[in-house]
C-alpha cells in the first residue's frame, strides 16, 4: 500500500498491524505566514516530514 502522510508514526503504526507499506507519499501544501508556526511545531515536536518551511518568514 502507498500511504499518503507526513506523520512517521502513522507509517510505523500501520506496519504494526501487519499492513505492507511500500511507499510514503508526502502531502504537500504551501506554507503561509498564517500557518507556518503550526507546521513548524508539527515538524519539531511530532517529527512530521515537512519540506519548504525555511522559505517562509513567520
The gap between the terminal CA atoms of the chain, to the nearest Å, is: 36
Distance from C-alpha of 51 to C-alpha of 26, rounded to nearest angstrom:
9
Q: Is the dihedral of CA 17, 22, 26, 27 positive or negative?
A: negative
pLDDT at position 30, please?
A: 87
Residue 4 pLDDT exceeds 80: yes
Q: What is the pLDDT of residues 5-56, one digit of tens each?
A: 999 999 889 999 999 999 999 998 889 889 999 999 999 999 999 988 877 6
Residue with cell 511545531: 41
pLDDT at position 51, please?
A: 85
Residue 57 pLDDT exceeds 90: no
pTM of structure = 0.74
C-alpha distances (whole Å) from 48 to each of 18, 29, 53 are: 22, 13, 12
Amino acid at each position: 500500500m502507498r500511504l499518503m502522510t507526513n506523520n512517521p508514526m502513522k507509517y510505523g503504526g500501520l506496519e504494526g498491524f501487519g499492513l505492507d507499506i511500500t511507499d510514503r507519499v508526502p502531502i504537500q501544501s504551501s506554507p503561509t505566514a498564517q500557518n507556518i508556526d503550526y507546521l513548524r511545531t508539527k515538524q519539531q515536536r511530532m517529527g512530521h516530514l515537512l519540506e519548504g518551511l525555511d522559505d517562509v518568514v513567520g
